[in-house]
């Protein structure tokens, strides 16, 4: 007889009282839906008296006629900056102070926008280009942003990825501190091809793909809902046990990857022992806590 052993998920935990700042990069197909979820989350946190939750929307694009109906924009908003339109609308609806940055995200811009080391900075990527993900990757690697949640999709499927570390060495000892996870592989560490430019195609973005039927009308909204739940768990529960979720609308199925030693080790090219044990480098990063 064989015994089936299932590795128990380990929670990635955030400090309970520390403020959080979320920067949404990309306000188009998925981003416009996710912006609404973020505003609702910020309003809920305020009503519950929780630690401050600051929101920033970044997008250098303006609303086009083809965006209306498939993204959360109206005909009256054509020609206006997407980030500004969403921030103004949601600020008016919820009484928030969302900051709009109508510019294309770069690593330098994201580094300048970080709220400070006393705040947990979360980057949320809703971009459809490798250049956008390179900016997010570099900002996570070289500035004070601490967490990256990436949302991407194709015709009728997509993936949400949660990570903190762009280098495998930063995952050594990630599960050595008594039943909690202190680091997760960044989306680009798990899937390096996200940094590579795709071959030139006639359809350059989600709007064109949706317009000619190459993308489901519902996929952006569905992906935003999954990403919104990730952020709800991080902000409200202050912990999460999942680091990847794949959604397939064609088959109406969803599969999530739990945070375990095996999952982290496989993504980073490490051994389970590496992930579970504090070496000298990991000791320095954790201040010697055990």
Residue 177 pLDDT > 70? yes
% the chain with pLDDT above 90:
82
Among 242, 267, 244, 240, which residue's Cα sits nearest to residue 170?
267
Residue 126 pLDDT > 60? yes
193 C-beta neighbours (distance < 10 Å), count: 8
Each domain of the chain, given as residue ranges in start order, spans 12-286
% the chain with pLDDT above 70:
88
pLDDT tier at 202 (50, 70, 90 boundaries)?
Answer: very low
Q: How far apart are the first and last CA of the chain?
A: 38
188's tokens: 């680009």
Among 13, 84, 70, 102, which residue's Cα sits nearest to residue 215?
70
pLDDT tier at 290 (50, 70, 90 boundaries)?
Answer: very low
Contact 210, 219 (CB under 8 A): no
| CA gap 263, 246 in Å, rounded | 15
Query: What's the pLDDT at 278?
Result: 83
DSSP string, 205-245: SHHHHHHTTSS-TTHHHHHHHHHHHHHHIIIIISEESEEEE
Q: Please give the CATH superfamily to which domain 12-286 belongs.
A: NAD(P)-binding Rossmann-like Domain (3.40.50.720)
């Amino acid at each position: 007889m064989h015994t089936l052993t299932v590795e128990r998920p380990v929670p990635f935990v955030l400090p309970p009282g520390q403020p959080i700042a979320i920067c949404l990069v990309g306000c188009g197909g998925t981003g416009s839906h996710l912006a609404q979820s973020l505003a609702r989350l910020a309003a809920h946190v305020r009503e519950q008296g929780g630690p401050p939750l600051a929101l920033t929307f970044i997008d250098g694009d303006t609303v086009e006629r083809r965006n209306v109906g498939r993204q959360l924009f109206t005909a009256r908003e054509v020609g206006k900056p997407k980030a500004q339109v969403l921030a103004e609308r949601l600020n008016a609806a919820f009484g928030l102070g969302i900051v709009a940055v109508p510019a294309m995200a770069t690593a330098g811009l994201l580094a300048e926008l970080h709220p400070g080391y006393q705040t947990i900075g979360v980057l949320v990527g809703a971009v459809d280009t490798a250049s956008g993900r390179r900016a997010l990757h570099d900002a996570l690697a070289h500035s004070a942003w601490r967490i990256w949640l990436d949302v991407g999709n194709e015709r009728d499927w997509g993936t949400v990825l949660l990570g903190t570390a762009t280098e495998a060495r930063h995952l050594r000892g990630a599960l050595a501190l008594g039943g909690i996870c202190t680091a997760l592989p960044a989306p680009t560490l798990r899937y390096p091809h996200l940094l590579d430019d795709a071959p030139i195609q006639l359809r350059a973005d989600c709007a064109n793909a949706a317009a000619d039927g190459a993308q489901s009308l519902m996929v952006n909204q569905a992906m935003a809902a999954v990403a919104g739940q990730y952020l709800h768990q991080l902000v409200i529960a202050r912990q999460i046990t999942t680091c990847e979720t794949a959604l397939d609308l064609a088959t109406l199925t969803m599969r999530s990857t739990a945070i375990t030693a095996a999952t982290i080790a496989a993504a980073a090219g490490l051994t389970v022992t590496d992930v579970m044990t504090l070496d000298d480098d990991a000791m320095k990063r954790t201040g010697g806590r055990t």
